[in-house]
Amino acid sequence: MRLRNYIFRRLLMIVPLFFFTTILVFTLIHLAPGDPVMIMFGTSTPYMKDIVKEMRETYGLDKPLYIQYFIWLSRVFRGDLGYSYLNTRKVIQMISERGWPTIELMVLALVFSVVISTVFGVFAAVKRHSIFDNLITTTAVLGRGMPNFWLAMNLILIFSIYLGWLPVFGRFTVGAVFSSPFGYWLDRIKHLILPVISLSAFQIAYFTRLIRSTMLDVLGQEYIITARAKGLKESVVIYKHALKNALLPVVTVVGIYIGSLMGGAAIIESLFAWPGMGRLLVNSTYRREYQVLMSLNMIIIFMVLVSNLITDVVYAYLDPRIKY
């Protein structure tokens, strides 16, 4: 029961945080010099000036900032995310199309990195100073030095251009839909491999090193000697007693990692021409698409806050010392 009202209290805390961040983002966007109308029509020719003025009024861009924010807020509550200035499509439609590819990419990258880094991290800690440990530590060091976009380009060079095994970009080859379901899914996977690897490589290296060091700390604790003194098998000592303690700090880091994963997605999507929210965000920043930008950021901030809540609850559940 007390877990429930802890979650309720945390949800209450999300609301102010959410409003504060949206206000921050809103002012950030609107402070940027130049607005979509000016970009569309340019103000070079004189007669353009009155058309620009008229357009600004229709989009309500001439009102003071805080009014624009409240207009936007009231519309959001009615579920109307407004229209994109350039191609006059409903923002909600644009985002929903692109939602699924990004989530697909991020979830795979998240699962991929957490699972692999736990396995490698624990193994490296248990078999300390073995070749296995040295191998993993060096690859972790190399992994953390490799920016995701440079890694992506190298992977494309090797696997797509020289070896030709994997497609260079895009989410699926055009004709694949009509081939056999197995062929369709094989094609989808082939497209996913490179983006997911380049998105998660940096984090796998970071987590592996983190888990290895927390595991080494825990293996040095006295309750591990007590566990061995009870006659337990080494496997039980490691996977029951040590692992649960070692994963606690990792849970909080995963929460924060979701935010940086979104940033990484923006880069990887624009590199692999992946039709996701990240790429939409980058393009709409160039083109000053206020409505699209605001909605995208609202969704991203909401995802980050919820993921932090989930990790805190999981942490409170795992560690009995946390009073909630």
**For residues 266-295, which are near other proteins according to CB under 8 A?**
266-267, 270-271, 281-282, 285-286, 293
Q: What's the CA gap between 44 and 38, in Å, rounded? A: 10
Instruction: Give min distance, CB of 300 to other proteins, in A.
Output: 6
Instruction: Give min distance, CB of 40 to other proteins, in A.
Output: 16
Q: Is 252 a residue that touches other proteins (CB under 8 A)?
A: no
Q: What's the CA gap between 127 and 135, in Å, rounded? A: 11
Instruction: Give min distance, CB of 180 to other proteins, in A.
Output: 30
- Dihedral (Cα; 138, 142, 143, 146), 10-degree rounding: 180
Q: Which residues contact 161 (CB under 8 A, 6 or more apart)?
A: 168
Give the count of beta carbons closer than 10 Å to the beta carbon of residue 95.
Answer: 19
Instruction: Give min distance, CB of 185 to other proteins, in A.
Output: 28
69 or 184, CB closer to other proteins? 69
Q: Is 42 a residue that touches other proteins (CB under 8 A)?
A: no
Q: What are phi and psi of 43, to 5 degrees?
A: -110, 20
Give the one residue of 39, 68, 228, 249 binding other proteins; rule: CB under 8 A.
228
Give the one residue of 15, 71, 189, 256 binding other proteins; rule: CB under 8 A.
256
132 or 184, CB closer to other proteins? 132
For residues 125 and 212, the answer to whether their CB atoms sit within 8 Å is yes
Q: What's the CA gap between 311 and 251, in Å, rounded? A: 6
Residues 1-30 close enough to bind other proteins by CB under 8 A: 17, 20-21, 25, 28-29
Number of H helices, E strands in the chain: 13, 0
Nearest to 118 by CA among 242, 230, 279, 293: 242
Give the one residue of 42, 60, 147, 175 binding other proteins; rule: CB under 8 A.
147
- Please work out the total of residues on this chain that contact other proteins, with binding judged by CB under 8 A: 71
Give the number of residues written for the chain: 324
Q: Is 304 a residue that touches other proteins (CB under 8 A)?
A: yes
Q: Is 66 a residue that touches other proteins (CB under 8 A)?
A: no
118 or 245, CB closer to other proteins? 245
Kindly state the tokens that stand for 204.
């796998």
Q: Is 79 a residue that touches other proteins (CB under 8 A)?
A: no
Of the candidate spans 60-68, 85-93, 113-121, 229-237, the one that interacts with other proteins by CB under 8 A turns out to be 229-237
Q: Is 231 a residue that touches other proteins (CB under 8 A)?
A: yes
Q: What's the CA gap between 82 and 144, in Å, rounded? A: 41
Q: Is 319 a residue that touches other proteins (CB under 8 A)?
A: yes
The maximal CA–CA distance of the chain, rounded, in angstroms, is 89
Q: Is 135 a residue that touches other proteins (CB under 8 A)?
A: no
Q: Is 263 a residue that touches other proteins (CB under 8 A)?
A: yes
> What string of H, E and C letters represents the secondary structure of 124-146?
HHHCCCCHHHHHHHHHHHHHHHC
Residues 198-227 close enough to bind other proteins by CB under 8 A: 221-223, 225-227
Q: What's the CA gap between 310 and 224, in Å, rounded? A: 29
Give the one residue of 115, 175, 230, 273 binding other proteins; rule: CB under 8 A.
230
